[in-house]
Amino acid sequence: MTDARIITPTERFFHWEANAPDKVYLRQPQGPGNYRDYTWREVGDQVRRMASALRGLGLQPGDKIAIAARNSAHWVMADQAITSGGFVSVGIYPKQATDAVTYVLEHSEAKAIFLGPILGQDGIVAGIPEGVMTIRLPYADAPAAEHDWDALIAANEPLAETPQPDPESLWTLVYTSGTTGKPKGVALSHGSSAFAASNAVQAFDMQPDEVFFSYLPLAHIAERGIVEGMSLYSGGSISFIESIDRFAEQLQEVAPTRFFAVPVVWNKLRAGVLAKMPQEKLDRLLRVPLLGKLIAKKIRKALGMHRVRQAISGAAPLPLELQNWFSALGIDILQGYGMSENLAYATATRPGRLVPGSVGEAMPGCEIRIDDKGEILTRGQATMMGYYKDDEKTAETLVDGWLHTGDKGRLDANGHLFITGRVKEIFKTLKGKYVAPAPIEGAFARNTAIDLICVMGDGMRQPICIVVLEPGAAARPFEQVGPDLAHTLEEVNAELEAHEKLSHLFVASDEWTPDNGMVTPTLKVRRDRVESVYLKLCESRLTGEPVQRLETTVT
């Protein structure tokens, strides 16, 4: 990129340090209702000192430095210190398997890693190759390391200059959390990050008083781009999650103005409401004109959604039924679509232009088209530089500037994009007919007892599905839940073509978590993993009742 007007995220950071030094930027939780606030000046001082410290430790411009920590003020400080010092950041996911940690650090040639509190930290520490320098973030439950953040801060003078990274240079490596194969290192430039974040902030009219709530993994491009990136270009503040157990409580405490969630989170928020007020009662109250508005307002306040200017869903298709449920409460969820390879910047629903089932229109400067195989292609300045050290895969994915997303979709006459599934997830039954699982899975969202679902059926006479129930439903006797699931199965099948109809619905007794590999860190179902664990067991029970419970233990 040669556009002289490009202002990189690093430059935006130092802009706020200079122009709003006393404004709170980062809010670190320290127990229920208690936060340690960091101003732009305070953050700037620590970032400048750590950038100097990294240089003093012998790290050279362009060296890769990883971050393994839960979302926190110092995750962002470490990230900014890395780029300010002329280095390249690499995020590590929570609970990343030991061998995957080793692979990412070796593949990226990381020279150092920041360590903070993180789920599965023993396994992550065990995966650090010999020779990789370790730096401990200043949290009591962070693992031991060679160097300590506070000590390095105290021992080094602040970086004197205000860095201006070359927009065309490498900003970060984002390793995909995909469902198959080794993670791929998506190489993103400073300029592509600037383009995506600055345009998104303008498109959605974000203001300096924005409040963001950071709880999804910062190693993922959606959280990093939407929360960290947009805070830099809007001047808004970020509050961090303390623990997943306090998610609902903290969401209410923070009351964000912009809130991003994946469909699984939206489903859990709905389940929390329905645990206190059955759907039938809620429907009845919402139909009463004045009372309905009051009830909806109280629910928004109880959820912590009363200040939300924009609610966004991404990472996976949002079932229309779920979207409509929140709309009835006055929460219009706008869908966005993108991936690591384009900085999660492709399409988004615009306020006031919500089209049910669509993930919106192309974002400014991004082109969208559907090829003759039905695959979605995107092109624009947010596109990755390529896959790190993988020219062959880069050439397959980037053709004439067009990014081949691997997703199937369609565009309506007004340019609204609809996702219809993954190219590689479509399977063929014994009847020789192809089945796209995503739309079928979305249809089951009408049953609020279902938390997660996976439709499969490659080489089978008819497809089947496996579901995980939300905690409230899972705690009830199966004899109570089963008939309701059977009714939903009948309803969904009535809407499907003959070759798509599901012969069975199986209820898994296990939780599906990133810990056991059943879902990704952003809670997308790992279809191949589900099939490897359950398929043979399900096939052995196809002569039984259409709805059955599976007693299994996933390890």
User: Across residues 53-72, what is the average pLDDT?
Assistant: 97
Q: Is the pLDDT of residue 495 over 80?
A: yes
pLDDT score at 167: 94
- The answer to whether residues 428 and 387 touch, using CB atoms and an 8 Å cutoff, is no
Is residue 166, in this structure, part of any structural domain at all?
A: yes
Residues 377, 487: one domain?
A: no
**pLDDT over 70 percentage in the chain:** 98
Contact status, residue 196 vs residue 344, Cβ threshold 8 Å: yes
Q: What is the pLDDT of residues 348-372, one digit of tens each?
A: 998 888 888 899 999 999 999 999 9
Looking at the structure, do residues 174 and 64 belong to the same domain, yes or no? yes
Query: What does the pLDDT read at residue 38?
Result: 98
The CATH number of whichever domain residue 519 belongs to comes to: 3.30.300.30
**Residue 21 belongs to a domain:** yes
Residues 341 and 434 in one domain: no
Q: What is the pLDDT of residue 3?
A: 47
490 pLDDT above the threshold of 80? yes
Point out the domain boundary residue: 381, 402, 422.
422
Residue 207 domain-assigned (yes or no): no
pLDDT reported for residue 478: 92
Quick one: pLDDT at residue 436?
A: 84
Any domain includes 200: no
pLDDT of residue 1: 39
pLDDT per residue as tens digits for the range 265-297? 998 899 899 989 999 999 999 999 899 999 999
Look up the domain containing 545 and give its range: 427-550
User: What is the arithmetic mean of pLDDT over 297-314?
Assistant: 94
Mean pLDDT estimate for the chain:
91
Structure tokens at 517: 């590999």
Indicate the pLDDT class of residue 179, thresholds 50, 70 and 90: very low
Mean predicted confidence (pLDDT) in 210-224: 92
442 and 521 share a domain? yes
Phi-psi region of 459 (alpha: psi -120 to 50; beta: other; left: phi over 0): left
If asked whether residues 461 and 544 sit together in one domain, one would say: yes
* pLDDT beyond 60 at 142: yes
415 & 277 share domain: yes
Do 436 and 418 share a structural domain?
Answer: no
Among residues 390, 422, 454, the one where a domain terminates is 422
Contact yes or no for 345/222 (Cβ under 8 A): no
Average pLDDT over residues 6-26: 96
Residue 241 lies in a domain: no
Cα–Cα distance for residue pair 366/438, rounded to 1 Å: 25
Last residue of a domain, one of 385, 404, 422: 422
Report yes or no on 219 lying in a domain: no
- pLDDT of residue 441 exceeding 60: yes
pLDDT for 226 equals 85
Query: How many domains does the chain fold into?
Result: 3
pLDDT of residue 209: 96
Domain containing 399 — which CATH number? 3.40.50.12780
| Helices 263-276 & 279-286 angle (0-180, nearest 10) | 90
The pLDDT of residue 311 is 93
Residue (of 527, 516, 519, 514) closest to 553 by Cα position: 516
Q: Would residue 458 count as lying in a domain?
A: yes
Same domain, 377 and 480: no
List strand residue ranges (DSSP E) for 15-73, in order.
Answer: 24-29, 35-39, 64-68
What is the dihedral sign for C-alpha 77, 64, 190, 92?
Answer: negative
Give me the pLDDT at residue 177, please: 61
Write the CB contacts of 311 (distance below 8 Å, at least 6 apart in sequence). 259, 261, 305, 326, 331, 332, 333, 334
* Residues 185, 389 contacting (CB under 8 angstroms): yes
pLDDT of residue 5: 66
- Residue 140's pLDDT is 93
**402 and 474 share one domain:** no
Mean pLDDT of 420-442: 82
How much is the average pLDDT of 90-110? Answer: 92
